[in-house]
Structure 1
Amino acid sequence: MRFVADLHIHSKYSRACSRDCDLEHLTWWARRKGISLVGTGDFTHPAWYDHLGENLVEAAPGVFRLRDDLDRDIDRRLPPSLAGAPVRFMLSVEISTIYKRGDRTRKVHHLIYMPDLSSAARFNARLAKIGNLGSDGRPILGLDSRDLLEITLECGGYLVPAHVWTPWFAVLGSKSGFDAIEDCYVDLASHVFAVETGLSSDPEMNWRVSGLDKYRLVSNSDAHSPPVLGREATVFDTELDYYSVRKALETGEGFAGSLEFFPEEGKYHVDGHRKCGVRMEPRETSAHNGTCPECGKPLTVGVLSRVEELADRPHGARPPGAAGFTSLVPLPEVVSEIVGTGPKSKKVLAEIDKLTAALGPELVILRDVPVDDIAAHSPLLAEAVTRLRRGEVVRDSGYDGEYGVIRVFEPGELERRRSAFALFDYDAPRPSTVERPRPAPAPVAAAAVPAPVVAGSSLLDGLDPEQRAAAEVDGGPLLIIAGPGTGKTRTLTHRIADLVTSRGVPAAQCLAITFTRRAAEEMAERLAALAPDAVGELTIATFHSLGVLILREHGAAFGLSASFGVADPERQLAVASSVVADEKEARALVAAGDARYKKALRAQDLVDFDDLITLPLALLEESAALVDAYRARWRWVSVDEYQDVDEQQYRLLRLLVPPDGNLTAIGDPDQAIYRFRGADVGFFLRFREDFPGARTVQLTRNYRSSAAVVAGALEVIAPSSLVPGRELRPMADHGDAPIGVHHASSEAAEAAFVARTVEQVLGGASFHAFDSGRVVGDGTQGLGFADFAVLYRTDRQSRALVEALTRSGLPFQKRSHDRLADRPGVARIAHDLRFAAGETVSERVRAVAGDDHTAYELLKPLAASCGTDFERFHSALALGVEVDTWDPRADRISLLTLHASKGLEFPVVFIVGCEDGLLPLRWPGADDAEAVDEERRLLFVGMTRARRHLFLSHTSGRPRSPFLAALESYERLGDAQPRRRRKGTQLSLL
């Protein structure tokens, strides 16, 4: 059976798509066009997935038809020449992946096909752990293309790279793609067997690239409204089912070629700059070194140039066995040229209605109906179709997002023929230009080969002078004041490695203490690379894991076995509840560390988190012999983030290290932000009093942030810096983007600014961003979603951000990686819902709720406990997904508090809510100068998380933060009245 398929379309749930993109309209237009197989599009969108399940029935293996009652209603609205033609649907979706690989931002679109709704549901479940499926029918995921292919294969589907040459969002695109399909999908590339050529190229252009010979070259409309179905399509000669289509694409048997746009009509065919009205052929682009002669900015390199760049065959080459193709102009455009009105005008549509009623579907008229039969209705149309079938057209190429124009009549010709041919009433045709010749390929310059790096002879050779001075200090107390981004961990690990590899210090005598498990793991990884033979003997611990070690060895003094357990919060409450029946009183016992509660813990061979410091401290304070034993065991002690120690940790350290001992303390008092946890920066400031012989080294070379970020952070911290003569010198080359200070009218406007600016810095996350003019440039290349962080003082501020990013379709996470069942409060919710064995959250919620409102109320706390927004959580659960973990491969924007950002860094940082009352956060009745100083340090920490771009934002709801007074000279963005905002301001930061 020979049939036409259009397997790349969108539903009404995709951005910038017609509300008529539903199954009924798609079926009506498919019959009008003569298309037998249509992609459903957008099956990942929860509402569209439900719609498909409710309105489609299986017609053959893997393909569906419209429900009988709906199908009959459509036939009643069609002429007999079109009614009753079979229209089948195949489950399809376009996925946009934006991620970083090889220091470049990659933006690649993919078409995914599934054989049945259950396979689609499994696929949706997997993607729901990666991104937001509910905001756009074409979801944007921060996922590597290779990983998307893997998920597709595991769910039983197949993948076709979409519009492979499009500059902005394609596997071979000039802006963010690769030079070969294999480079994109790496080890799984053999599972790709077809590629979509897109509107701006045709098979003849693709035949010039021998690397594409192994792939079937398919074409589809990428329809955003039903009337453009079939503007490009693929022809098959197989049975009309999913498996036959897939086999034809895999083997070529039954693959009968494609129906094509003339590629010049595509909106990225040649090079250009739409804003300046500049359009160039490849040779012209090369002569101008790829820059716009009007504004000097880079041109958008089109498909023709990109094909020339990768081509290894001459024009006209055709690989053996390649399927043919037919180039067409959609019938409404042909009639539009004749009658002189737009292709969507009532006059054109009326003429198409007459033609299809008399002659059959549009594609049949263009390809198969005898010209004499067409001439009986319109001699001009017959002439136009004759020329079209011979490829005799006038071409005006598209560029940089502007569609080209294809004409079948020369300028003025219709006027001359008016008297000879008349069927349609028509106005004068619009002028056109003649076809431009295709140029020969331009030479491609060879890439520069970097010189090899020669390693030094010492572990310390790679350190800068300040870092080396710190690392080389011999025994005794050492205080290293390490400003943000100055290589604190690098210095400390090189010092330890040098001690054990070059200075004869036994590795077993070295103890390194950090504050978080993540920091300890990073330190262990670095030391494993620097001193692989010694790392196994080093002790690398957090304060609490050090406490576990001491208690494993000496916990018998408290009645603990060597295999004692550490009670989590749920277990602590359970133990306290065994002492007192009232839950509120039990919680109070835990909070106060009540003796009865502690005794009950010991009876179960348990300790709690606080015990991991208090019990070892009590052991050492009561036993001088034990102190001597540990001092002899660990003669070299290093402590990271020393400004964050609390009183008990400080006392423990003073017992482990004598006043003249080999203690290295490293940190920065201007980053002391954890007073609410009991941390006391005073211990850092009195280090030289506690250790009179201590030497001090400062690290002042910042390798993280741009010069503007460093300068701004220093200005903010200056009024209350705890480092005399505070100095930071920027060493990184991140460009000259200034700090942006944004004034928004509300929290919602502030969040919208964040979403909009993410797209601008990223260089666009969708075609709509370019078509709407929201993004007009490449942005900052080499970024993925994980390179963006939005910081705020309180968690409540995240709500508006979640809503804005969800509306924009941008993937994000509130930084949390715990399993659902392990998160606070979830165990209680699960208990209240009384889960059956193996039952999913969604199944239990549906069983318990009974109605949508109750289900919503049950799901909201679960979503909050997952650290995600309700819409994303619900999108997953609506498909039966258990949202217990996010896929670790996902690449997402980070939303986190300023406190949680400590120790992290990002190329792009937003700090929202820079307002008095939020930053500094002012507690009612409190007037604490040190608290305000710590809030200033908190802003200093947040600002120095940024590498390239830093945006500070405040709203009209509160007075501006007094901390921003130091930044009066920095670039101001936006206004409380958004419409008065100066054009291009944000882009100037890039």
Structure 2
Amino acid sequence: DGEQANAIAQRISNWKNDRVLPEQALAAATSPADMLCAQAYLRYQRALKAYNALDFDDLILLPTILFEHHPDVLEQWQQQVHYLLVDEYQDTNTSQYLLVKQLVGIRGQLTVVGDDDQSIYAWRGARPENLAQLQADYPRLKIIMLEQNYRSTARILKAANTLIANNSHVFEKQLWSELGYGEPLRVIRCSSEQHEADQVVAEILDHKLRKRTRFGDYAVLYRGNHQSRLIELALQQQQVPYHLSGGTSFFARNEVKDIMAYLRLILNENDDNAFLRIANVPRRKLGASTLEALGNFANARHCSLSQACSRIGSEHIPEAGLKRLREFRAWMSSIRGQCQGEHGVAGIRQMIREMDYEDWLLQLSSSEDVAQRRMGNVHFLIDSLQRVMGAEQLGLDEAITRLVLRDLLEQQDEEETGPDSVQLMTLHAAKGLEFPHVYIIGMEENLLPHRVSVEEDNIAEERRLAYVGITRAQQTLAMTLATKRRQFGETINCEPSRFIAELPQDDLQWQGGGSDTAEANEDRGKETLAGLKNLFG
């Protein structure tokens, strides 16, 4: 499984960053999961050695081991490195720190640039305490504080300073700016995640129209990639160009592609691409030779694959394969019938149950949690279809056509999107970037700070993450939160993030009481968007 392999690869990378060798990992393993990862680590290193290969982590780890065991080699390299400069020092790991220390040696000709308040990569081995260790290892260390900020307004910096003051610090500092005090920081309370997405997109369109800005001036930041789904759909609906950094866009997820293919085949039984995608999803024992024979038959007779299922005979395909093809076509025809009339979405939900798609995802996923998240994307897609039907009084065929068009437009946008597009990214991906106008969505407990960090009492890093988000904004900053969200098919009540309470309250401007019904808020959002579209012509 790809996700499990990625998790093991990350564990191996963390071990190398912490200078833990395979034998040490095996000796320290205390659980079956630890043992599995340690054994994979050992076999992985043997494979690398057999291929005479190194990975990126080895490029740091192995020189530190070499220098430890061969001082003469270390001395040769120290003679070549007279001065060393290291940027983003707060993100260095154990191996990197040791390599720097070895190369610098007793001369101490070292300059580092770092900010312990922006250390947000502990999950991949970064050790912010390396900044503090500098003072112990280099008693003559000279510290130069770079406190003037040339990016943000004074109000944004005041909020950032006030928030991060709740963390302990290696070096105390106060950012300041000569760019003016700036506009109030807005906190927008929404009734639901759908209201949140509609509100953000409506505000971007409204602000762009009034201020004559570019789409590229706006960034929407969030804690987890899953939060981009509704924002993506809302932007697509309003034909706003956007660029998704890092994560996989909603329509590019495999489970979404699967269900979209089923929807396309419901809409048009002659859609051969859709047929081929789902013929064995879930597995129906339709082998490659069977599908190849079906394709050859269809091409020779200029008909679709679905039509060929009823025409092809046993002289082309063995009886077992022929029976499965005809069963699949008959089942799709029955599903098409179930989706007629006013019960269209119910028919689609029934289709998903009948083919045990949830069980199929469980088989493919590395854990039950991963399978639930993927199934959540399926439910989200069907809910979106239902919303489109209700909001615009469309039939199922028209609503499916809309979704298919969005999918195609997104694929086109991925190929053609230029710099003038709204930027969507996680807070981690935003580090080092800046935008005139920033929205941080999902400012709620268990989102930011993340639930896992709350449980593990790792609030300091989550606070640094919020600090990074706030300091991406140059001119305006808005933070949104929802009073209710859908999670694993259930509606949950949400609490505002503790980080909002830690901001200077006089600089916050609250909007929305969150007490209106979702329908009322959605109606207002639609009216706003409709008015904006009319203004745009």
Normalised-by-shorter TM-score class = 0.5 to 0.7
CA distance in structure 1 between the partners assigned to 2:405 and 2:158 by the alignment: 44
Is residue 800 from structure 1 mapped to residue 230 from structure 2 by the alignment?
yes
Task: Provide Cα deviations, 1:917-968, integer angstroms capped at 9, x if missing partner.
Answer: 221113288352xx11111111111000000110011221322111111232
CA distance in structure 1 between the partners assigned to 2:161 and 2:66 by the alignment: 44
Cα distance change, pair 696–941 in 1 and its aligned pair in 2 (3 A)? same
How does 1:21-40 map onto structure 2 within 5 Å?
A: none
Is residue 847 from structure 1 mapped to residue 294 from structure 2 by the alignment?
no
Aligned to 1:933: 460
CA distance in structure 2 between the partners assigned to 1:888 and 1:878 by the alignment: 13
CA distance in structure 1 between the partners assigned to 2:461 and 2:220 by the alignment: 20
* One of 177, 181, 184 as aligned partner of 1:738: 184
* 1:799 Cα deviation after fit: 2.0
Cα distance change, pair 878–692 in 1 and its aligned pair in 2 (3 A)? closer
* One of 947, 958, 962 as aligned partner of 2:474: 947
Aligned to 1:921: 450
Cα distance change, pair 690–709 in 1 and its aligned pair in 2 (3 A)? same
CA distance in structure 2 between the partners assigned to 1:887 and 1:898 by the alignment: 25
Is residue 814 from structure 1 mapped to residue 244 from structure 2 by the alignment?
yes
Task: Provide Cα deviations, 1:357-410, integer angstroms capped at 9, x if missing partner.
Answer: xxxxxxxxxxxxxxxxxxxxxxxxxxxxxxxxxxxxxxxxxxxxxxxxxxxxxx
Indicate the SS of the match to 2:99.
helix
CA distance in structure 2 between the partners assigned to 1:602 and 1:883 by the alignment: 43
Aligned to 2:405: 875
Is residue 960 from structure 1 mapped to residue 462 from structure 2 by the alignment?
no
* One of 875, 898, 903 as aligned partner of 2:432: 903
Cα distance change, pair 924–876 in 1 and its aligned pair in 2 (3 A)? closer
Indicate the SS of the match to 2:76.
helix
Q: Please tell me whether the aligned partners of residues 427 and 465 of structure 2 are also in contact (alpha carbons under 8 angstroms).
A: yes
Is residue 719 from structure 1 mapped to residue 248 from structure 2 by the alignment?
no
Q: Please tell me whether the aligned partners of residues 670 and 723 of structure 1 are also in contact (alpha carbons under 8 angstroms).
A: no
CA distance in structure 1 between the partners assigned to 2:403 and 2:69 by the alignment: 52
CA distance in structure 2 between the partners assigned to 1:728 and 1:586 by the alignment: 44
CA distance in structure 1 between the partners assigned to 2:420 and 2:163 by the alignment: 32
* One of 687, 692, 705 as aligned partner of 2:134: 687
* 1:592 Cα deviation after fit: 5.7
Cα distance change, pair 725–600 in 1 and its aligned pair in 2 (3 A)? closer
How does 1:145-156 map onto structure 2 within 5 Å?
A: none
Larger radius of gyration: 1
How does 1:747-786 map onto structure 2 within 5 Å?
A: 747-763=193-209, 778-779=210-211, 781=212, 783-786=213-216
Cα distance change, pair 793–741 in 1 and its aligned pair in 2 (3 A)? same
Percent identity, aligned pairs only, is 32
Indicate the SS of the match to 2:143.
strand
* 1:903 Cα deviation after fit: 0.9
Q: Please tell me whether the aligned partners of residues 660 and 691 of structure 1 are also in contact (alpha carbons under 8 angstroms).
A: no
- Amino acid across the alignment from 1:762: K
- Amino acid across the alignment from 1:622: H
- Amino acid across the alignment from 1:755: V
How does 1:504-523 map onto structure 2 within 5 Å?
A: none
Number of aligned residue pairs = 359
Q: Please tell me whether the aligned partners of residues 617 and 651 of structure 1 are also in contact (alpha carbons under 8 angstroms).
A: yes
Task: Provide Cα deviations, 1:298-320, integer angstroms capped at 9, x if missing partner.
Answer: xxxxxxxxxxxxxxxxxxxxxxx
Cα distance change, pair 886–964 in 1 and its aligned pair in 2 (3 A)? same
Contiguous gaps of at least 5 residues in structure 1: 1-543, 548-584, 764-777, 830-841, 985-990
CA distance in structure 2 between the partners assigned to 1:639 and 1:669 by the alignment: 14
CA distance in structure 2 between the partners assigned to 1:971 and 1:884 by the alignment: 35
Q: Please tell me whether the aligned partners of residues 817 and 886 of structure 1 are also in contact (alpha carbons under 8 angstroms).
A: no
CA distance in structure 2 between the partners assigned to 1:609 and 1:874 by the alignment: 41
Q: Please tell me whether the aligned partners of residues 453 and 459 of structure 2 are also in contact (alpha carbons under 8 angstroms).
A: no
CA distance in structure 2 between the partners assigned to 1:753 and 1:824 by the alignment: 25
Task: Provide Cα deviations, 1:342-368, integer angstroms capped at 9, x if missing partner.
Answer: xxxxxxxxxxxxxxxxxxxxxxxxxxx
Indicate the SS of the match to 1:664.
strand
Cα distance change, pair 712–883 in 1 and its aligned pair in 2 (3 A)? same
* 1:884 Cα deviation after fit: 11
Contiguous gaps of at least 5 residues in structure 2: 1-12, 17-31, 259-270, 279-305, 307-331, 337-347, 361-372, 386-399, 484-492, 529-537
Q: Please tell me whether the aligned partners of residues 743 and 973 of structure 1 are also in contact (alpha carbons under 8 angstroms).
A: yes
- Amino acid across the alignment from 1:894: Q
- Say which structure, 1 or 2, has more relative contact order (CA 8 Å, 6+ apart): 2
CA distance in structure 1 between the partners assigned to 2:404 and 2:79 by the alignment: 57
- Amino acid across the alignment from 2:146: L
CA distance in structure 2 between the partners assigned to 1:600 and 1:650 by the alignment: 27
- Amino acid across the alignment from 1:875: L
Aligned to 1:465: none
Cα distance change, pair 878–759 in 1 and its aligned pair in 2 (3 A)? closer
- Amino acid across the alignment from 1:958: C
* One of 37, 43, 49 as aligned partner of 1:602: 49
How does 1:346-745 map onto structure 2 within 5 Å?
A: 593-722=40-169, 724-732=171-179, 736-745=182-191
Q: Please tell me whether the aligned partners of residues 670 and 721 of structure 1 are also in contact (alpha carbons under 8 angstroms).
A: no
Q: Please tell me whether the aligned partners of residues 132 and 170 of structure 2 are also in contact (alpha carbons under 8 angstroms).
A: no
Q: Please tell me whether the aligned partners of residues 446 and 454 of structure 2 are also in contact (alpha carbons under 8 angstroms).
A: no
Q: Please tell me whether the aligned partners of residues 236 and 406 of structure 2 are also in contact (alpha carbons under 8 angstroms).
A: no
Task: Provide Cα deviations, 1:727-762, integer angstroms capped at 9, x if missing partner.
Answer: 1111235x7311111111111111122111111221
Q: Please tell me whether the aligned partners of residues 788 and 893 of structure 1 are also in contact (alpha carbons under 8 angstroms).
A: yes
Q: Please tell me whether the aligned partners of residues 911 and 953 of structure 1 are also in contact (alpha carbons under 8 angstroms).
A: yes
CA distance in structure 1 between the partners assigned to 2:228 and 2:411 by the alignment: 24
* 1:844 Cα deviation after fit: 4.2
Per the normalisation by structure 2, the TM-score is: 0.59
Q: Please tell me whether the aligned partners of residues 589 and 597 of structure 1 are also in contact (alpha carbons under 8 angstroms).
A: no
Cα distance change, pair 951–631 in 1 and its aligned pair in 2 (3 A)? same
Q: Please tell me whether the aligned partners of residues 590 and 597 of structure 1 are also in contact (alpha carbons under 8 angstroms).
A: no
CA distance in structure 1 between the partners assigned to 2:33 and 2:48 by the alignment: 13
- Amino acid across the alignment from 2:276: A
Tell me which protein shows more helix as a share of its residues.
2
CA distance in structure 2 between the partners assigned to 1:738 and 1:625 by the alignment: 60
Indicate the SS of the match to 1:917.
coil
Task: Provide Cα deviations, 1:633-680, integer angstroms capped at 9, x if missing partner.
Answer: 121111111011111111111111124321111010111111111111
Indicate the SS of the match to 2:494.
coil
CA distance in structure 1 between the partners assigned to 2:33 and 2:509 by the alignment: 54
Indicate the SS of the match to 2:102.
helix
Tell me which protein shows more strand as a share of its residues.
1
